[in-house]
Each structure stands twice: as structure tokens, then as C-alpha cells.
Structure 1
């Protein structure tokens, strides 16, 4: 259990560092400007995905929830979207038109963290089926 939680933390931490510093490098090289804080949005995506994985690890220990874990996971993307809107409505959603680098700076981290999150959720669900 502790090994799993530590692997989630390390994996999301490493992915966060790779994404954030590669974004910063590419933005400096292309001399574009991003009108919102990349650090904050990347931290949100990393922490939200990490929390989902940690909660599912704990939920997998509850025998009554084992058969319903897949259904519990379904609304997490919607909830994450609502929380993102609430957290960034003044900085990201206040911008009338996002440039393509700004759109990609939101979409790519979202998809990468979501991919890692789904990988860990599938591992949790496959352990339950055995």
C-alpha cells in the first residue's frame, strides 16, 4: 500500500517536472507569451490526478466498493473540469480568445496527467479482479 502511494507520488512528481520545464523551455525558445500561470495549472492537473489515484487505492480496500469502483471513476473527469473552472475562472476563462500555444499548454498536460491517472486506475481495478 505504501509502496503504491509512493510510486504515485514519484510518478506524478516526475511527470510534473518534465511537463513544466519542457513547456517553459519551448515557450522561451518560441518567444510566445502565455497569459496565465503555467505552474498553477500544471500543479492543479498533477494534484487532482494524484488525489484521484490515492483515493481509489483506499477505496479498493473497502470490500463493499470493489464492484463499483469503475462506476465511481466515471464522473471524476467532470468533477475535475468543474474544479478547474472554479479555480481558474479569473485567470484562464477570463481570456476571450486563447492562442494556440495557450490551448496546447492546457491540453497537453491535461492529457498526459489523465493518461498516467488512467494507467494507475487500471492497475488498481485489475488487482481487484484477480
Structure 2
């Protein structure tokens, strides 16, 4: 839903594969879903309960590094079209970060 609104606001053809925002949104959505599932599993292990915050910080750095590595042509190359600002590619990062923090905080609250 957020992708559709974002694509509409910048004038990107959101229902086609040509929209440059589709791949970052799909990458981050899949990463967030996998991260939530992994943390749900890790929360069951009693030895790791106190370390989940540090593990999350490590996965956050990993996510940002993977995002820049996969989409480096968008940021540093000539692929980005003139009508789409490069800052638009960071909006999915912040949305994914918000979703991760919300769901993981709910998970940690249930653990107490």
C-alpha cells in the first residue's frame, strides 16, 4: 500500500516492472519478514534472550550494507533517472526500520 502511494506521488508507473522503487521495496519487505521470523525463533532460546538487542543491531548494519551493495547502481551509477530523486530510495529503508522496531519491541514485551 505504501509503495503504491509513494510511486503515485513521484509519478512512477507503479503497476509496471519499470518502476525503480519496486525492487527496493521488495528487497526490504522480504528482509523485514525474514528478520521477524528469525527473531521469533531466537526469542525461544533462553540463552539468547539477553542478547537479542545486540543481534538486532548487527542485522541492522547487515541490512544497510546489503541494501547499498545490491542497489549501488541506483545510488552511485547512472541508472537513476533525473525525475526520481535518490533520496526516494531511502524511504523504504526507514519504513522497514519502523516496522522492524515495532514488531521486535512487541516480541520483547511478550518475553518479559
Report the TM range for the smaller structure's normalisation. Answer: 0.7 to 0.9
Which structure carries more helix by proportion?
1
Q: How far does residue 45 in structure 1 lie from its aligned partner after superposition?
A: 1.3
Structure 2, unaligned runs of 5 or more: 13-17
Aligned length: 107
Whether 1:40 and 2:40 are equivalent positions in the alignment is no
Q: Following superposition of structure 1 onto structure 2, how do residues 18-33 of structure 1 map, counting pairs within 5 Å?
A: 18-28=1-11
CA RMSD of aligned residues (A): 2.6
Q: How far apart are residue 58 of structure 1 and its match? A: 0.5
Match of 1:123 in 2: 106
1:90 maps to what in 2? 73
Structure 2 equivalent of residue 57 of structure 1:
40
Gaps of 5+ in 1: 1-17, 30-34
Quick one: higher RCO (CA 8 Å, sep 6+), 1 or 2?
1
Q: Deviation per CA, 1:92-119: give whole Å up to 9, x if none.
A: 4314988695233212221112101100
TM-score by length of 2: 0.80
